[in-house]
């Protein structure tokens, strides 16, 4: 029941954004469309995946850029579920280590939402080249990696999706977990999807407006620091224009 509801919500969310049921979705662009303040910072591979926050009318997603790019995309989609589908939501710290691992219902629901938002069933069936591989456990690892490059999603998330729609078994999933970066390189597919970005980047008008208010002497330095602290930033993060992108 939970998975069915999450799938329905994901498809409705896609529709509301103007995406079809086969189209790859750009989660960063969705943040711009929905006026979500998006912040990337490296916190280490073993740390949390992301944080979603509501502060008054402002929406925030903080992403751990020490995770792989595919994992980051999944994290953002996961946080959309918290921000747009949970009543009275204020804050959630998410560790997306195992999509099918032991989690509370809200986290599992957000995972199901993310996987269906990023990889709709129709999209899988549309982009598979050889329709003969639609038989269980017939899809090749090369085809799987190609699909991941289309939907900009992590390898594990794609394997889970294929398992849940009946295209691979659990045994098949376990056999196809490793050696993906080397295969992507051999296929001349951008391997950045499988690597961390470790970047500090802000896509937000919140920081820009706060900085303008401070520079115009409308707020004190203490207030400015307090506004930044709410989203785990400091004034030192504002010092490098090359690493900060305030383009929302």
Q: Sign of torsion, CA 102 108 154 194? A: negative
Looking at residue 79, what is its pLDDT? 97
Instruction: Sketch the domain layout of the chain as residue ranges.
Output: 2-194, 208-238
Looking at residue 204, what is its pLDDT? 82
Beta partners for 59?
36, 54
Find, among 78, 65, 68, 86, the residue nearest to 113 by Cα.
78
Look at the chain and count its residues: 248
- Ranges of the chain whose pLDDT falls below 70: 96-103, 236-248
Q: Dump pLDDT digits (tens) for 137-154.
A: 889 999 999 999 999 999
Per DSSP, the residues of 191-207 read GGGGSB----EEE-SHH
Q: In what order do the strands lie in the sheet with 58-64?
A: 91-94, 50-55, 58-64, 36-41, 201-203
Looking at residue 248, what is its pLDDT? 38
- pTM for this prediction: 0.86
Beta partners for 52?
61, 92
């Amino acid at each position: 029941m939970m998975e069915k509801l999450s799938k329905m919500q994901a498809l409705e969310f896609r529709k509301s954004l103007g995406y079809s049921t086969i189209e790859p979705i750009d989660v960063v662009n969705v943040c711009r469309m929905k006026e979500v303040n998006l912040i990337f910072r490296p916190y280490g591979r073993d740390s949390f995946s992301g944080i979603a926050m509501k502060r008054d009318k402002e929406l925030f997603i903080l992403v751990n850029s020490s995770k792989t790019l595919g994992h980051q995309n999944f994290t953002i989609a996961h946080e959309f579920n918290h921000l747009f589908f949970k009543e009275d939501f204020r804050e959630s710290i998410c560790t997306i280590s195992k999509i099918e691992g032991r989690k509370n219902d809200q986290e599992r629901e957000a995972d199901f939402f993310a996987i269906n938002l990023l990889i709709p069933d129709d999209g899988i069936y549309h982009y598979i080249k050889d329709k003969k591989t639609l038989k269980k456990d017939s899809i090749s690892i090369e085809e799987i990696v190609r699909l991941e490059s289309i939907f900009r999603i992590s390898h594990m998330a794609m394997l889970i999706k294929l398992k849940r729609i009946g295209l691979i078994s659990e045994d098949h999933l376990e056999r196809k977990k490793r050696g993906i970066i080397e295969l992507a390189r051999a296929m001349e597919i951008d391997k950045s999807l499988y690597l961390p970005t470790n970047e500090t980047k802000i896509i937000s008008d919140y920081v820009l407006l706060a900085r303008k208010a401070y520079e115009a002497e409308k707020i004190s330095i203490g207030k400015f620091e307090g506004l930044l602290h709410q989203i785990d930033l400091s004034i030192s993060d504002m010092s490098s224009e090359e690493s900060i992108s305030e383009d929302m």
